[in-house]
Amino acid sequence: MDLPVVLDDWDWVEQPISSSINVNAHFLEKPKIPDWDALQQFYPYCPGGKTIFWLCPIDGTDWTLFEVENEQWVLMPMSGFPPRDKLLKGPFTPISEHESNGKKVWVYLARYPLKQLQTSMMLYYSQKVDSFQSIENENDVWIFKEDFGRLIFSEQGEYVILVHVL
């Protein structure tokens, strides 16, 4: 995927956001910290940056840039989303929706510690969870009953990336 102006001048490494998730993101290498002045000059209408994740619609694609750990910045394209009743409910923001291997994949971003996030979600989803698996952390994969798929949690510094596969 072609990166937007300014962002395409920086050095990125494209890699999965987790070893258990088939979703790639761009990890910033150079500069070490985004040049907020350059982004502001080219995209003055885009909110965020420095302390909260940056959101920007550019050439038909919504982009987000956020810091997952000290000086580790991630860039991801966002896409259109299904109707609200099809989205998971919880303290997180949908950032991507696509299809992979014939399955729908929704990616969400949460700025809560993993255990707190899972505890709050369990209040709502406890009756829908069939089983749990542990890949990177304890119970970081939830297998839902019926045709509700699975949910994968991946800690990324201060953030948790959630991937819902249907």
pLDDT in tens, 32-62: 999 999 998 988 888 777 766 788 878 877 7
The C-alpha torsion from 29 through 50 and 70 to 7, rounded to 10°, is -10
Predicted confidence at residue 128, as pLDDT, reads: 93
Predicted confidence at residue 79, as pLDDT, reads: 60
pTM: 0.61
The C-alpha torsion from 77 through 64 and 14 to 144, rounded to 10°, is -70
Average pLDDT over residues 3-20: 86
The total of other beta-carbon atoms located within 10 Å of residue 7's CB is 22
CA-wise closest residue to 69 among 149, 163, 159, 150 = 159
The helix/strand/coil state of 147 is coil
Using one digit for the tens of pLDDT, what is the confidence trace for 107-146?
A: 888 878 899 999 989 988 999 999 999 988 888 999 999 8
Task: List, as one string, the DSSP characters of 79-128.
Answer: -----GGGS--SS-EEEEEEEETTEEEEEEEE-S-HHHHHHHHHHHHTTT
Using one digit for the tens of pLDDT, what is the confidence trace for 80-110?
A: 555 444 578 888 878 777 787 888 888 888 8
Predicted confidence at residue 83, as pLDDT, reads: 47
